[in-house]
Structure 1
């Protein structure tokens, strides 16, 4: 990975989210359905933070981003039993 890519990932990860989507307690397919709704409302380049407890999101959210061309920053992190995703909407 190039230094520029690492810096962009770090900058994205440290970016303050424009939208926070708390899907903790919800199960597939609800987290992705709510993410899709939030993405439609967001402007290009905005950051969406998703908090989830469903382990299926570790597969579903990366696939959602890959399929629609959005950027998933630093894959996902696990904090206190919750998954945290930062997604940058494509322009």
Structure 2
């Protein structure tokens, strides 16, 4: 599978709820609307929290994968 392209990245490895989503809330603002952010996390609760974050705030969850104990999300920023 080809790697998906992204414009910015947030490394939330080693952080636990609610820190990854709090960091995501701030980091997504650095990404222009329509651009994408890659998030890497190790907390399993991100598989619940990040999709909800996207749904509630109007961002598109492009992909969600687990790779070797890490959870990788690709998010396209909404228009807010």
Report the TM-score when normalising by structure 2.
0.91
Cα distance between partner residues in 2 of 1:14 and 1:80: 16
- Structure 1 residue 40 corresponds to structure 2 residue 29: yes
Which residues in structure 2 correspond to 1:8-87 (within 5 Å)? 14-74=3-63, 76-87=64-75
Number of residue pairs aligned between Structure 1 and Structure 2? 78
5+ residue gaps, structure 2, are: none
Moved over 4 A (4+): none
Cα distance between partner residues in 1 of 2:67 and 2:28: 23
Q: Which structure has the bigger radius of gyration?
A: 1
Cα distance between partner residues in 2 of 1:40 and 1:18: 13
5+ residue gaps, structure 1, are: 1-12
Report the TM-score when normalising by structure 1.
0.80
Q: Which structure shows the bigger proportion of residues in helix conformation? A: 1
Cα distance between partner residues in 2 of 1:23 and 1:61: 12
CA RMSD of aligned residues (A): 1.4
